[in-house]
Amino acid sequence: MTWKKFSGEVIHSSILEEIENAIIRETALGYHLKVCIGTDSQVKGALTDFATVIVLLREHHGGFMYIHQDKTPQKMSIKERMLVEVQKSIETAYSICDLLDLYDVDLEVHADINTNPSFKSNKALNEAMGYILSMGFIFKAKPEAFASSTCADKMVH
């Protein structure tokens, strides 16, 4: 799985190693960190483009992120697509949560799902929330889900 920095620079080490080095570096500089993970997607013709982001927030001092992008030709309903987004975020969260526990860094999983029932994405809300919470992760939906609805969104549009 290829991860990149926001600048487009490819991460050549494992994402785990990259995040561990970032945690060590940022905490040595005195920052308190929180990690937010989210995925967004965009249908572009016959392909669906997914972007998953790992955002490292420096409390009151901005942050930085890592991005993984992939495409699929698979046709999906909006609900399926929302749940695939959540699945990608959970897989990413699961792959780094032990590291974050080790360094006592809080983790949130953000879903690009609207809490307003008049939006199509709302159909997936209960399942997505149940999935994320059952994995033991903190869940945020729109408007608080900036990792997916702002950061990842920028990568697919």
- The string of pLDDT tens digits covering residues 64-118 is 999 999 999 999 998 899 899 999 999 999 999 999 999 999 999 999 888 888 8
- In this predicted model, what pLDDT tens digit does every residue of 3-12 receive, in sequence order? 999 999 999 9
Q: What is the CATH number of the domain that holds 58?
A: 3.30.420
Domain extent for 66: 4-156
Q: Give the total number of structural domains in the chain.
A: 1
Q: What is the pTM of this model?
A: 0.91
* End-to-end Cα separation, the chain, in angstroms: 21
Environment class of residue 7 by beta-carbon count within 10 Å: exposed (0-12), middle (13-18) or buried (19+)? exposed
Task: Please provide residue 118's backbone torsions phi and psi, each rounded to the nearest 5 degrees.
Answer: -80, -5
Query: What Å distances lie between residue 84 and 53, 101, 156, CA to CA?
Result: 14, 25, 15
- The 3-state DSSP class for residue 87 equals helix
C-alpha closest to that of 152 among 32, 44, 39, 20 = 39
Give the number of C-alpha atoms closer than 13 A to the C-alpha of residue 41, restricted to the C-beta side. 29
How long a stretch of residues is the chain? Answer: 157
Q: How far apart (Å, rounded) are the C-alpha atoms in residues 156 and 140?
A: 20
User: Each residue of 13-37: pLDDT tens digit?
Assistant: 999 999 999 999 999 999 999 999 9
pLDDT tens-place string over residues 125-150: 888 888 888 989 998 988 888 888 88
